[in-house]
Amino acid sequence: MAKKEHTFEEICKDIKARKFAPVYMLMGEEPFFIDRITDLLIETVLTESERDFNQMIMYGADTDAAMIYNATRRFPMMSEYQLVVVREAQLVRDIEVLANYVKNPLQSTILVVNYKYKTLDGRKALSGASDKNGILFDSKKIPDYKMPAFITSLLQQRTTEIDTKGAQMLADFLGNDLSRLSKELDKLALLLPQTGPKRITPELIEQNIGISKDYNNFELLNAIATKQVLKANRIIQYFEKNPKNNPIQMTLPVLFNYFSNLLICYYSNDRSEPALMNTLGLRSTFQLRDYQAGLKNFTAMKVFNLISDIRTADARTKGVENNSLTDADILKELLYKILH
């Protein structure tokens, strides 16, 4: 039987609505989602007065499956639920033994298992039982190209808006480091009005995070797509003067992702606006504009060759066949190949 798919947003929505599962098996490479779901359960399941007798937090290095099993079999005192949280569960050597409990969990116990940086063996009983009787959630790293959409979605949960440019600025600057992103969003949230509409603008980001609203990868990509040679060169000159906030290691993945997606556009049978948005996984027509411009300004063969050039540039930044060029020199040379 196929594994049930649960998204982070769906799980959080159900928890807030007090639709609890008896088991939350939270595993995977991205600790951010595991921590968020766990914190939300701790905040939601029990009231402050209920926690003294009904909440138990255990740590994998100090426990084993038998201790966890015994904790889950208790009944709540003057509460509908008891909450058992196992942090660092990847350190529990005999974790598979828990399958005996998860196959028939108590509905009055909510067991939350944090199995970070690893995943359970899907062929074994614990994974199957968790999927059947609770929530089996694989917390995966978000690819860089999906970060703008994730930022927009995350802010929507906070009833805060951000435009496409602002989301892209944050994604380019922070990458997919979700813990750092959360801290920066918390910092920006303090600057928003307490009442009325809340909106994070490129200007607010520039003033408080240190990213230029005019000289960034978002604007560079637009300049390249629309063949604005002067604008593109001004941006990389700014990058050269401000290398700490604009390293080439942030720019090359943006360019690689753009031209890879542009090549997909060329091979698409249907190049209508809705079809391309669906193919590329875009949320707004605004995001599509650079691809539409690229289809007009670059041939498919040019795009194919540029993908190879970007790979070569990345290798040269790591010292491959490069004894003297700086990162700024490599980017200037690559930009010339792109625009000419």
How much is the pLDDT for 286? Answer: 79
How much is the pLDDT for 62? Answer: 92
How much is the pLDDT for 283? Answer: 73
pLDDT at 336 over 60: yes
| Predicted TM-score of the model (pTM) | 0.72
Q: How confident is the model at residue 157 (pLDDT cuts 50, 70, 90)?
A: confident
Both 110 and 16 in one domain: the answer is: yes
Q: How confident is the model at residue 197 (pLDDT cuts 50, 70, 90)?
A: confident
Q: Average pLDDT for residues 103-128, to the nearest whole number?
A: 94
Query: Encoding tokens for residue 220?
Result: 């560079």
**234 is a domain residue:** yes
Q: How confident is the model at residue 209 (pLDDT cuts 50, 70, 90)?
A: confident
How much is the pLDDT for 40? Answer: 96
How much is the pLDDT for 314? Answer: 93
Both 120 and 52 in one domain: the answer is: yes
Both 185 and 233 in one domain: the answer is: no
pLDDT at 174 over 90: no
pLDDT at 151 over 70: yes
What would the pLDDT profile of 3-39 be if each residue is shown by its tens digit?
678 889 899 999 999 999 999 999 999 999 999 999 9
**333 is a domain residue:** yes
Q: How far apart are CA 306 and CA 335, in angstroms?
A: 10
Both 301 and 233 in one domain: the answer is: yes
Both 129 and 12 in one domain: the answer is: yes
The percent of residues above 70 in pLDDT, for the chain, comes to 99
SS3 state of residue 2:
coil
What would the pLDDT profile of 300-315 be if each residue is shown by its tens digit?
999 999 999 999 999 9
Averaged pLDDT of the chain: 91
Q: In Å, how far are 62, 172, 221, 284, 297 from 261, measured between CA atoms? A: 48, 17, 13, 16, 15
How much is the pLDDT for 3? Answer: 65
Q: Average pLDDT for residues 205-227, to the nearest whole number?
A: 90
What are the phi and psi torsion angles at 207 (to 5°)?
-70, -25
**65 is a domain residue:** yes
The DSSP-derived string for 90-150 is GG-TTGGGGHHHHTS--TTEEEEEEEETS---TTSHHHHHHHHHSEEEE-PPPPGGGHHHH
The percent of residues above 90 in pLDDT, for the chain, comes to 66
Residue 176, domain CATH: 1.10.8.60
Q: How far apart are CA 16 and CA 39, in angstroms?
A: 12
What would the pLDDT profile of 35-56 be if each residue is shown by its tens digit?
999 999 999 999 999 999 999 9
How much is the pLDDT for 1? Answer: 52
pLDDT at 2 over 80: no
Both 31 and 82 in one domain: the answer is: yes
Both 272 and 308 in one domain: the answer is: yes
Q: How confident is the model at residue 133 (pLDDT cuts 50, 70, 90)?
A: very high
Q: How far apart are CA 187 and CA 191, in angstroms?
A: 7
**26 is a domain residue:** yes
State how many domains the chain has.
Answer: 3
Q: How confident is the model at residue 137 (pLDDT cuts 50, 70, 90)?
A: very high
Q: How confident is the model at residue 103 (pLDDT cuts 50, 70, 90)?
A: very high
**2 is a domain residue:** no
Q: Average pLDDT for residues 72-80, to the nearest whole number?
A: 94
Both 38 and 119 in one domain: the answer is: yes
What would the pLDDT profile of 158-171 be if each residue is shown by its tens digit?
889 998 889 988 98
- Domain span at residue 192? 144-209
